Amino acid sequence: MSDLSKAGKIAGSLGVLLKAERVAHAVMKGMHGRRRTGTGEAFWQFRPWASGDARRDIDWRQTAKRDNVFIRQTEWEAAQTAWLWRDASASMDFGIKKEYAETLLLALGIVLLNGGEQAGLLGSGLAPQTGAPAIERLFAALPAQKELSENAHPAAAFSHVVLIGDFYFPLEKLRAFCAPLAARRVTGTLVQIFDPAEKDLPYKGRVRFEDIEGLDADAADIPQVEAIRADYAGKFAAHQEALAETAKRFGWRFEKFSTDTKPEAALTRLCDMLGTHA
Give the residue extent of every domain in the chain: 3-34+78-274, 37-75
Q: How far apart are CA 238 and CA 220, in angstroms?
A: 21
Average the pLDDT over 198-203 and give the result. Answer: 93
Q: How confident is the model at residue 188 (pLDDT cuts 50, 70, 90)?
A: very high
Q: What CATH topology corresponds to 3-34+78-274?
A: Rossmann fold (3.40.50)
Beta strands in 122-170 (DSSP E): 160-165
Q: Which contacts qualify for 228-235: CB closer than 8 Å, 24 or more apart? A: 228/201, 229/201, 232/201, 233/199, 233/200, 233/201
Query: What pLDDT, on the 0 to 100 scale, is given for residue 8?
Result: 38
Question: Does residue 38 surpass a pLDDT of 70?
Answer: no
Average the pLDDT over 201-215 and give the result. Answer: 82
Using CA atoms of 168, 200, 257, 244 in order, give the dihedral in degrees to the nearest 10. -60
As a whole-number percent, the residues of the chain with pLDDT over 90 amount to 57
Average the pLDDT over 151-161 and give the result. Answer: 88
Q: How far apart are CA 277 and CA 227, in angstroms?
A: 48
Q: How far apart are CA 121 and CA 141, in angstroms?
A: 8
Instruction: Dump pLDDT digits (tens) for 238-250.
Output: 999 999 999 999 9
Q: Which amino acid is at 58?
A: I
Question: Does residue 79 surpass a pLDDT of 70?
Answer: no
Question: Does residue 84 surpass a pLDDT of 60?
Answer: yes
Question: Does residue 213 surpass a pLDDT of 70?
Answer: yes
Question: Does residue 144 surpass a pLDDT of 50?
Answer: yes
How far apart, in Å, are the Cα atoms of 261 and each of 96, 164, 232?
A: 12, 15, 22
Query: What pLDDT, on the 0 to 100 scale, is given for residue 208?
Result: 86
Q: How confident is the model at residue 35 (pLDDT cuts 50, 70, 90)?
A: very low
Query: What pLDDT, on the 0 to 100 scale, is given for residue 77?
Result: 37
Instruction: Give me the count of residues in the chain.
Output: 278
The SS3 call for residue 263 is helix
Q: Is 112 exposed, middle or buried (0-12, 13-18, 19+ CB in 10 A)?
A: buried
Average pLDDT, whole number, for the chain?
Answer: 84
Instruction: Dump pLDDT digits (tens) for 214-234.
Output: 666 667 888 899 999 999 999
Cβ-proximal residues to 24 (8 Å cutoff; 6+ apart), any chain: 106, 107, 108, 110, 111, 114, 267
The whole model's pTM is what?
0.79
Q: How confident is the model at residue 74 (pLDDT cuts 50, 70, 90)?
A: low
Q: Which amino acid is at 223?
A: P
The SS3 call for residue 39 is strand
Q: Are strands 253-258 and 220-222 parallel, antiparallel or unpaired?
A: unpaired
The residue ranking higher by pLDDT, 99 or 49, is: 99
